[in-house]
């Protein structure tokens, strides 16, 4: 996979322009396609090893095909209206395993509302007639649907997503 990520962090004006540019390109792609339009959504945060402590969302990952945007929410001074409007646009369907809890966390931490979402576990379970997939994680879902598993190293998945600069491995993992 050779994704083309746009990265936002450090509260820079260039980063905010990258968000607007990514959204414009995504909207252009959507206009040329049939509906529904699916956008992959995931979030990452710094893991907490203490009970009852959950850190704020650090990064938001959005992907349309190979066009990916990584927003380091924890390092932004404000949320651009274009991003808030994009997530709240019901003409997009945001997809991700466990997406309801991700959407709840985005709303709680940043006031970002995700309008329309689907967890691929449910259609996969119905299509394959395997109820156990209803609560499956991404790895089990990939194996059942695609017959392969994408390697997501534990040290990256549980890494410091709140660092100011993501590592190259974190960026690759976020785009996958």
Taking only the tens place, the pLDDT of each residue in 58-100 is 999 999 988 899 999 999 888 999 999 999 999 899 999 999 9
3-state DSSP of the chain = CCCEEEEECCCCHHHHHHHHHHHHHHHHHHHCCCCCEEEEEEEEECCCCCCCCCCCEEEEEEEECCEEEEECHHHCCCCCHHHHHHHCCCCEEEECCCHHHHHHHHHHHHCCCCCCEECCHHHHHHHHCCHHHHHCCHHHHHHHHHCCCCCCCHHHHCCCCCCCCCCHHHHHHHHC
Q: Which domain holds residue 97?
A: 4-119+154-175
Higher pLDDT, 2 or 78: 78
- Please state, in angstroms and rounded to a whole number, the distance separating the CA atoms of residues 145 and 127: 10
Q: Is the pLDDT of residue 35 over 70?
A: no
For 120-172, what is each residue's pLDDT tens digit? 888 888 888 888 888 877 778 887 888 777 777 788 877 888 888 888 888 88
**Any domain includes 141:** no
Q: Is the pLDDT of residue 7 over 50?
A: no
**Any domain includes 8:** yes
Q: What is the CATH number of the domain that holds 10?
A: 3.30.420.10
3-state DSSP of 106-121 = HHHHHCCCCCCEECCH
**Any domain includes 23:** yes
Structural domain total, the chain:
1
pLDDT band for position 48 (50/70/90)?
Answer: confident
Return the structure tokens found at 67.
């066009």
**Any domain includes 40:** yes
pTM: 0.82
**Any domain includes 138:** no
Q: Average pLDDT, whole number, for the chain?
A: 84
């Amino acid at each position: 996979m050779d994704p083309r990520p746009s990265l936002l962090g450090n509260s820079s004006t260039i980063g905010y322009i990258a968000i607007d540019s990514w959204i414009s390109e995504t909207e252009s792609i959507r206009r040329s396609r049939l509906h529904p339009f699916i956008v992959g959504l995931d979030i990452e945060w710094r893991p907490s090893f203490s009970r009852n402590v959950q850190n704020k969302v650090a990064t938001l990952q959005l992907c349309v095909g190979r066009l990916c945007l990584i927003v380091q929410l924890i390092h932004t001074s404000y949320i651009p209206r274009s991003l808030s409007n994009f997530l709240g646009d019901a003409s997009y369907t945001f997809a991700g395993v466990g997406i309801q809890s991700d959407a709840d966390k985005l709303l709680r931490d940043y006031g970002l509302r995700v309008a329309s979402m689907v967890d691929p576990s449910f259609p996969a379970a119905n299509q394959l007639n395997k109820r156990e997939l209803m609560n499956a994680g991404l790895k089990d879902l990939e194996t059942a649907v695609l017959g392969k598993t994408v390697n997501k190293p534990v040290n990256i998945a549980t890494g410091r997503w709140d660092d100011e600069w993501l590592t190259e491995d974190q960026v690759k993992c976020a785009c996958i």
